[in-house]
Amino acid sequence: MKKSYKIDVDCANCAAKMEEAAKKTAGVKDATVNFMTLKMKVEFEEGVDPMDVMPVVRENCKKVEDDCEIFYKK
């Protein structure tokens, strides 16, 4: 399953850090961050609930870029 999320990030380098952090999160098969459109696309592993994974993705992204934000519905 693939989903797209709005993000708030200050620079392209920060976006790249967020992308790498998201990719390393358990339950995430792949992730891409587009700084120009301020979107993060996440492909989840089969059988994973995105609402269980996205809080962890956000937490991991904040570890590498503390002023970033990912907007997802809880």
Per-residue pLDDT tens digits of the chain, which is 74 residues long = 999 999 999 999 999 999 999 999 999 999 999 999 999 999 999 999 999 999 999 999 999 989 999 998 86
The H or E element spanning position 19 is helix 12-23
| C-alpha closest to that of 8 among 72, 60, 67, 74 | 67
* CATH class of this structure's domain 2-71: alpha beta
**Considering the entire predicted model, what is its pTM?**
0.92
User: Distance between CA 7 and CA 68 in Å, rounded?
Assistant: 7
Domain boundaries, the chain: 2-71
The residues that bridge with 30 in the sheet, in sequence order, are: 43
